[in-house]
Amino acid sequence: MEKTGRIIKSISGFYDVLDDESEELIRTRARGNFRKRKIKPLVGDKVKFDATGDLGYILEILPRDNSLVRPPIANVDQAIVVTSSAEPNFSSNLLDKILLNIEHNGITPLIYLTKADLLTNEQYLELKQTLSGYHEAGYQVFDDQDSYNEKQVDKLKQTFANKVTVFTGQSGAGKSTLLNHIDKDLGLATAAISQTLNRGKHTTRQVSLFDIFDGLVADTPGFSSIDLQTITPEELPTLYPEFLRYSGECQFRGCRHVNEPNCKVKEELAEGKIMQSRYDNYLYFLNEINSYKKRY
């Protein structure tokens, strides 16, 4: 009997599929022809499967909206970017780079600030001011000084419903701590992973999806290496929501917002409607991407 579902866990060649109708977990294997065609089912994949015997079989992988390499997962809807205020210090360049990668994969980013209690009130207010620029650019931002207060964590949980969510951010930003505040089991899962990884073994870590607050949440932080090599100079300006808001009013189609005349984005920048730091990082990234092209 053919059914549809989503892979939520993979263990050495077996795939646990959440049946769309019954919401039961069915253990399956992939048909041999997947291997011949060099197709590997991923956690997060929507699949057609046959569940007549004790063990089901995956018949077909349905088209993916997106897929990530780290963590290996498909059809991600949103990514929580855990951003540290101190230890490691806040970096707008790194935050913008992570946001670009997420936007490039067709995933909605949310920004979650941690360790703000390590700042003086003055430093915190300054950082909050910076983050308000991201809010104005169109991102949802969680920036309370008490990072893990119940009200803010609850507000984050409310974004999970009917979505597949991953967590990302630089190491030491507090991802595991946040996961712990969301659900102890998730925190425990990630703690076990980081211990294994810290032992210096190159463990290929299987990702699992946990059913939390009517959504599915990955227990593995992702995006460990972040480069811009898959982004073209043409695509880059389209990954800035605040540029997109105005680029229709630029004189030239495909305006890069650098030296072109009558560029609406640069006008809005001059009026303070676009963050200078975001624009400076944009020029820096554009330069980086152009230098890749020269090298190859």
Amino acid symbol at 120: T
- Residue 171 annotated as lining a ligand binding site: yes
- Residue 158 annotated as lining a ligand binding site: no
- Residue 117 annotated as lining a ligand binding site: yes
- Residue 152 annotated as lining a ligand binding site: no
- Residue 114 annotated as lining a ligand binding site: yes
- Residue 132 annotated as lining a ligand binding site: no
- Residue 173 annotated as lining a ligand binding site: yes
- Residue 257 annotated as lining a ligand binding site: yes
- Residue 84 annotated as lining a ligand binding site: no
- Residue 28 annotated as lining a ligand binding site: no
- Residue 115 annotated as lining a ligand binding site: yes
- Residue 273 annotated as lining a ligand binding site: no
- Residue 175 annotated as lining a ligand binding site: yes
- Residue 169 annotated as lining a ligand binding site: yes
- Residue 170 annotated as lining a ligand binding site: yes
- Residue 250 annotated as lining a ligand binding site: yes
| CA count, 13 A, side-chain hemisphere, 61 | 24
Known binding-site residues for Zn(2+) equal 250, 255, 257, 263
Known binding-site residues for GTP equal 114-117, 169-177
Known binding-site residues equal 114-117, 169-177, 250, 255, 257, 263
